[in-house]
Amino acid sequence: MNHQNDPKPLVSAAELEALIQGWGASPHKSVDRFFPLRFWYIFTVILVAAVWLLFNTQAIAQSLTEDPENLIRLQNFLYFRGWFLLIVLAVGCYSYFRSWYTALVFCAFLLMGLTNLVFDLFTVYPERLANPNPRFTLLLLIRMSSLWVLYLTVKNSSRLPDAKDRANLLLPFKKNL
């Protein structure tokens, strides 16, 4: 059976319209007023983590391992992670403020964040997990809450505020959106 020469489409235009009717951004959906708050929370956490990793690499590595061989490898890795976070921050800001594939970019960041957390649990944190302290527990809670906030951001990406309101932390109190 030769489908290449068959001029009849597999799906009619009306059937295709019925299939994709609910896809995409709907104009009647309300704006997510808390989007800027979530964005600035994520922005702050990533910026603080990047600066901390870049300027305090040796102390962080020493708090994570006692093995001298592993210490140098971990320092290099953490320094690289700090630069990586700054690049992620720059791409995320560009995507958010310019409406450049915002949902895809933040979804990719969510997948990278989840992957990095699992990777860190098995390669960076094993010694610290064997003997956790309150500071380390707080670090893990901040990472998990940031991933949850990022998930909410991806979930509500079709309800982005207007470009002029994206940096507005007082958007939840603004009327007539």
* Residue owning tokens 């964005």: 39
Neighbours of 147 (CB within 10 A): 17
Q: Cβ(166)–Cβ(96) under 8 Å? A: yes
H or E stretch covering 36: helix 35-55
Orientation of helix 35-55 relative to helix 68-98, angle to 10°: 150
Q: What is the mean pLDDT of residues 86-107?
A: 95
Question: Is 171 contained in some domain?
Answer: no
Q: Which domain holds residue 47?
A: 33-157
Tell me the pLDDT tens digit for each residue of 122-175. Answer: 999 998 999 899 999 999 999 999 999 999 999 999 899 988 888 988 888 887
Question: Is 83 contained in some domain?
Answer: yes
pLDDT at 18: 74
Tokens of 128: 């610290």
The upper half-sphere exposure of residue 74, i.e. CA atoms within 13 Å in the direction of its Cβ, equals 22
Cα–Cα distance between 22 and 122 in angstroms, integer?
A: 41
Number of domains in the chain: 1
Question: Is 27 contained in some domain?
Answer: no
Helices (H) and strands (E) in the chain, counts: 7, 0
Question: Is 76 contained in some domain?
Answer: yes
**Confidence check: pLDDT of 10 > 90:** no
Neighbours of 61 (CB within 10 A): 21
Question: Is 137 contained in some domain?
Answer: yes
Lowest-pLDDT range, 44-48, 111-115, 154-158? Answer: 154-158
Q: What mean pLDDT is reported for the chain?
A: 89
Residue 22 burial class via C-beta count within 10 angstroms: exposed 0-12, middle 13-18, buried 19 and up: exposed
pLDDT at 22: 63
Question: Is 4 contained in some domain?
Answer: no
Question: Is 25 contained in some domain?
Answer: no
Question: Is 123 contained in some domain?
Answer: yes
